Amino acid sequence: MVVPARAVPEPADSLKADSVEIIIAPPTSPVVSDFKYDDGNSLILTWVPSIDDLPVGGKVLSYHIFRSDNGGEAKKIAELIPGANYYKDEDLYSDTNYAYHVVALSSNSRAASFQTASIRPQREWVNLNLKYLFFIALIIAASVIYFIETAKRGKKLFVRKIAGLEAVDEAIGRATEMGRTILFIPGIHDMDDVQTLAAITILGRVSRVVADYDTKIRMPVARSLVMTAARETIKASYMSAGRPDAYNDDMVNYVTDEQFGYVAAVDGIMVREKPATIFLLGAFFAESLILAETGNSVGAIQIAGTARPAQLPFFIAACDFTLIGEELFAASAYLSGEPKQLGSLKGQDVGKGIAMLAILLGVLLSTIAAVGDTETITDILNFITRVFTVTN
């Protein structure tokens, strides 16, 4: 909702004592209605502009909106530019009655509309503007669940190879052979980022292999909550590998929340301990290349992945394998090899299919509409556009 509300630099409140009064017609038919699908805190006011409000040579300089609360005195609440014909009033209370009138101003006179009926903003329980979004989300979620269920019942699902993930076992094996550590960096964001969550779930798979091979894993982190979650994860992996005694809390340690302080420390660890394998998975920012280059200079195999498009080129340049965007989120499902996890990847493909179909149809139809202008096609096109338009 874009409301053309902009302050007029010179409010015409103080009427200038010009010799000739410029008479203008008042705005007409003001109607106030509830603004739909909110928590009862806004109303929308519409009116027909004054007939003297013309794009060229109009006499109306501005509109003032007046509001009366519960029948009290009307107070000015906004000034709008000429041509305005609606106003959204926000921050209202659902237990108060509001009535409005609109005043048009010329350089030295004013003309007021009638007062609207008095109404209360309504509180709605469901935002029907989001119905299409809800349905599409439902289809994708349902297909994810459907494929998970199918997989649970034992149907084989094909998932193509993802190069970076095929290399995980090999990379861990290499560290084991060389007797060096594996460094796992989960990005610098906290647990309120799904990328960190994805990194932790991958850590679950990696640490399981690590526990089996009896390799050393080292995980400096930048957030205390990530430290807690990572410890739980690694501990569980060691338990399920049947070696709880080999687990040690010091595998994960907190360094500092500060982005570059963390980088300084991790760089130090890299050059001093020379890990054989480095995982850089999660939310990365400017530090991505500092870490990846330092890791590269100590000769480690590096597997990186992030959903930050700006950092991906650096990982591609400096790491051996890079998981691009969606692949990062697919990784834990893929590595687990569990059918039900793989099922969720199939669900994602359904989502992609919907997106591709919509794009294909949309572009085709809008091109035809732009060239030929057929009404039916325009109607279908408008429908597709409306389905994918998100209004809050």
Partner 1 sequence: MSTKAKEILAITIIVIFCLIFYIRKVNGGEGILFSSLVAWLVIGAMVLSLVWILILTIRGRLISRRVVFIYVGIALALPLFMPFTQRIPISPEVRALYNSVETLKPGSKVLISFDFDPPSAPELQPMAESFIRLCFERDLKVIIMGLWPQGPQQANMALEKVLSDEKMKVKNLQYGEDYVNLGFQTGNEFVIQRMGSSFESMFPTDYRGTAYDSLPLVRNVKNFSNIDYSFNLSAGFPGSVEWVQIAVDRYGVQLGLGNTAVQAPQMYTYLNAGQITGILGGMNGGAEFEFLCKYKGKATKFMLSQSFAHMIVIAFIIIGNVAFFLGGRKSALKKS
Partner 2 sequence: MEHFALWLAAFLTLGIISFLYKDNAWYKLTEAIFVGLSAGYWFVTLFWDNFYGKFWIGKGEHAYLYVGAFLGLLMLLRLIPKIGWISRWPLSFIVGATSGLWLINYFSSNIMKQVQATIFPLFSSQYGAGFDAGAATVIGNLVIFLGTFTGLVYFFFSKEHKGAFGYTAKVGIWVIMITFGASFGYTVMSRMSLFIGRIDFLLSDWLGMIL
Partner 3 sequence: MRREIPLIITGIVGVGFVIQYFIPHAPFSYMSDWFSDWFSIVGACAIVLGALNLMKMSAQKVIRKKKDWGYALVIIASFLLIVIIGLSEGKDFRVPGTRFDWLYNYMYIPLSATMFAILAFFVASASYRAFRARNFEATLLLVAAFFVMLGRVPVGDVLSGFMPEGWRLSDLASWVMNYPQSAGQRAIMIGIGLGIVSTSLRVILGIERSHIGGGK
| Chain residues that interact with partner 1, rule: CB under 8 A | 1-7, 9, 78, 90-91, 260, 285-286, 296-297, 299, 309-310, 392
Contact pick of 114, 134, 383, 388 for partner 3 (by CB under 8 A): 134
Distance of CA 320 to the CA centre of its chain: 30
156-173 exposure pattern, b = at least 16 Cβ within 10 A, e = fewer = eeeeeebebbebbeebbe
CB nearer partner 1, residue 57 or residue 299 = 299
> What is the smallest separation between the CB atom of 315 and partner 2, expressed in angstroms?
9
Residue 142 binds partner 2 (CB under 8 A): no
Residue 158 binds partner 3 (CB under 8 A): no
Residue 290 binds partner 3 (CB under 8 A): yes
CB nearer partner 3, residue 117 or residue 163 = 163
CB nearer partner 3, residue 65 or residue 291 = 291
**Among partner 2, partner 3, partner 1, none, what binds residue 72 when CB lies within 5 to 8 Å by partner kind?**
none
Instruction: Write out the binding residues for partner 2, residues 281-320 only, by CB under 8 A.
Output: 286, 289, 309-310, 312-314, 316-317
**DSSP character string of 77-113:** EEEE-TT--EEEE-S--TTS-EEEEEEEE-SS-EEE-
Cβ pair 4, 81 in contact under 8 A: yes
Instruction: Write out the binding residues for partner 3, residues 223-282 only, by CB under 8 A.
Output: 223-225, 227-229, 232-233, 235-237, 239-240, 250, 253-261, 263-264
Q: Give strand ranges (E) for the chain.
A: 28-34, 43-48, 62-69, 75-80, 86-89, 98-105, 110-112, 181-187, 216-221, 252-254, 277-283, 301-306, 321-324
CB nearer partner 2, residue 100 or residue 314 = 314
**Cβ neighbours of residue 150 closer than 8 Å, sequence gap 6 or more:** 157, 343
**Cβ neighbours of residue 110 closer than 8 Å, sequence gap 6 or more:** 12, 15, 64, 103, 104
Of 111, 52, 112, 114, the closest CA to residue 82 belongs to 52
What does the per-residue mask of binding to partner 3 show for 185-224, with x meaning CB under 8 A? -----xxx-x--xx-xx-xxx-----------------xx
Residue 327 binds partner 2 (CB under 8 A): yes
- The side-by-side arrangement of strands in the sheet containing 28-34 is 28-34, 43-48, 86-89
> What is the smallest separation between the CB atom of 285 and partner 2, expressed in angstroms?
12
List the structure tokens of 315: 């990982």
Phi/psi of residue 301, nearest 5 degrees: -75, 130
Of 10, 102, 99, 28, the closest CA to residue 65 belongs to 102
List the structure tokens of 303: 């597997």
What is the size of the binding site for partner 2 (CB under 8 A)? Answer: 69
List the structure tokens of 91: 């921050």
**Among partner 1, partner 2, partner 3, none, what binds residue 6 when CB lies within 5 to 8 Å by partner kind?**
partner 1
The amino acid present at 50, given as its one-letter code, is S
**DSSP character string of 326-376:** HHHHHHHHHHH--HHHHHHHHHHHHHHHHHHHHHHHHHHHHHHHHHH--HH
List the structure tokens of 99: 């009535």
> What is the smallest separation between the CB atom of 136 and partner 2, expressed in angstroms?
7
Contact pick of 271, 337, 374, 379 for partner 2 (by CB under 8 A): 271
**Among partner 3, partner 1, partner 2, none, what binds residue 90 when CB lies within 5 to 8 Å by partner kind?**
partner 1
**Among partner 3, partner 2, partner 1, none, what binds residue 332 when CB lies within 5 to 8 Å by partner kind?**
partner 3
Determine the number of helices (DSSP H) and then strands (DSSP E) in the chain.
10, 13
Residue 166 binds partner 2 (CB under 8 A): no
**Among partner 1, partner 3, partner 2, none, what binds residue 2 when CB lies within 5 to 8 Å by partner kind?**
partner 1
Residue 240 half-sphere exposure, CB side, CA atoms within 13 Å? 12
- Residue span binding partner 3 (CB under 8 A) among the ranges 16-24, 276-284, 315-323, 373-381: 315-323
Contacting residues toward partner 2, per CB under 8 A: 133, 136-137, 140, 157-160, 162, 191-194, 197, 225, 228-229, 232, 254-258, 260-261, 264-265, 267-268, 271-272, 286, 289, 309-310, 312-314, 316-317, 324-327, 330, 345-346, 348-349, 351-352, 355-356, 358-360, 362-363, 366-367, 369-371, 381, 384-385, 388-390
